[in-house]
Amino acid sequence: MSPTISARDVRAALLARREIALLDLREESDFARGHPLFAAQLPVERIDAEIGIRVPRRDTLIVVYDDDRRVDEARDRLRSLGYPRVYGLSGGIGRWRDEGFELFEDVNSYSKAFGELVASRRHTPSLSADELRALIDEQADIAILDARRFDEYNTMSIPTGISVPGAELVLRARAIAPSPTTTLVVNCAGRTRSIIGAQSLINAGVPNPVMALRNGTIGWKLAGHRLATGQTRCPADVPDEIASEARHCARAVSYRAGVARVTPGELASLEAADDRSLYRFDVRTPEEYAAGHARGFLGAPGGQLVQEIDAHAPVRGARIVVADDRGARADMTASWLAQMGWDVYVLDGASDGPTEVGPGPAISPRPATGRYRRPYEGTDHGADAMQAYIQWELGLVDQLARDGTHRFFVI
């Protein structure tokens, strides 16, 4: 029988910002039906392959739960891998609910909740699918920037859209739209990356009018418009002058968010600390990362890192260091992570130390069995399911207020 920890003690650790990894052992489809805000999904079968990446410090407090079937198995597996502080959640997810604590649906829930908080606090400008369709039809001076991964964009996207994954937006916006009168429209599948992407451009002082596409490709389809498939538009490389300006603007944003900066020597001191977990992420594109990156850094393109931070960094209370040789992507990523309650640093001089090549270790894609299919995936979801998803996202701000553990702020 695994030693246990109460739901109230887990909540107390989160409120006190003590390090804790709350791991949900269920399949993704079950996890998506309801979990604590800062829980991360890790099935027992994935522990051996992923735990070293996702929980880098062996002495981290780990709390595991499921429907009480495999907690002992997970505890034994983790202890055999060198993690001595493993506890079961007393009473499991049912006790969490019975205590009156919030359960959040879907995946990447807390980044989505944070995105809704940003929209509500900053009133991020947006336009509807019908309004965007009209601008496309009249060949207005607009640029549609798809903030998702390239593969998502390539699968289905807004006609005439360009693939500009989230962290690339501030770096590349001026090169894409040299005229400050060009309206920049940022979209994703739903709402979060549209909101964060548009607000990134606004925060960085881009002179163009900036809008988020309200409800993304879901809203586009609900409005009866056809999505394009197989698009491959990508921006050209950024001239040094534009990259330098973007770096300056992004650094000002990260400063406002309270982001610290470290040299390679100072990073070594953080790495040597045995009382705090440390995540190191290279937030450039996968191609740039594979061509050469600072030793020990994992590849995590910045926009996706913000969206999927629960998967990449499940130890709440850990430190995060982000690196980018051009600067803007690291600073913008760090600015958002700081607002999400992380102790985050930007590495200056990332190319000064030892480097490695290749794709590096990564979290493997989940198998089809037990996977949660998002309502915005594919093109065969019914209107009711997509509308319900939008309503769920809109309700997240109130749910955050009821939960009370997030410590998010918005600059």
**pLDDT tens digits for 305-359?**
999 999 999 999 999 999 999 999 999 999 999 999 999 999 997 666 678 888 8
Mean pLDDT of all residues in 369-380: 68
Percent of the chain with pLDDT over 90: 88
For residue 81, count CB atoms less than 10 angstroms from its CB and return exposed for 0-12, middle for 13-18, buried for 19 or more: middle
Rounded to whole angstroms, how far apart are CA atoms 342 and 330? Answer: 14
Please give the distance of CA 410 from its chain centroid, rounded to a whole number. Answer: 16
Mean pLDDT of all residues in 204-208: 98
Q: Which residues contact 246 (CB under 8 A, 6 or more apart)?
A: 170, 171, 172, 173, 174, 204, 238, 326, 327, 328
Residue 370 has pLDDT above 80, yes or no: no
Rounded to whole angstroms, how far apart are CA atoms 166 and 329? Answer: 9
Q: Which residues contact 285 (CB under 8 A, 6 or more apart)?
A: 165, 168, 301
Q: What is the pTM of this model?
A: 0.95
162, 238, 255, 277, 351 from 348: Cα distances, Å: 30, 20, 14, 20, 9
Domain boundaries, the chain: 1-103, 114-238, 247-356
Residue 160 has pLDDT above 90, yes or no: yes
Picking from 167-176, 197-206, 376-385, 400-409, which range would have the lowest pLDDT averaged per residue?
376-385
**One CATH from 3.40.250.10, 3.90.1200.10, 3.40.30.10, 2.40.10.10 for 247-356:** 3.40.250.10
Q: Which residues contact 371 (CB under 8 A, 6 or more apart)?
A: 27, 28, 29
Rounded to whole angstroms, how far apart are CA atoms 287 and 349? Answer: 20
CATH 3.40.250.10 is held by the domain 114-238: yes
In tens, the pLDDT along 162-180 reads 999 999 999 999 999 999 9
pLDDT category of residue 381 using cuts at 50, 70 and 90:
low
Place of tokens 């940003």: 118
Contact between 191 and 96 under an 8 Å Cβ cutoff? The reply is no
Q: Which of 62-71, 119-128, 369-378 has the highest mean pLDDT?
A: 119-128
The helix or strand, by DSSP H or E, that contains position 278, with its residue range, turns out to be: strand 278-282
Contact between 198 and 211 under an 8 Å Cβ cutoff? The reply is yes
Residue 252 has pLDDT above 60, yes or no: yes
Place of tokens 């019914």: 382
Mean pLDDT of all residues in 95-121: 96
Q: Do domains 1-103 and 114-238 have the same CATH topology?
A: yes
Which CATH class, in words, describes the domain spanning 1-103?
alpha beta
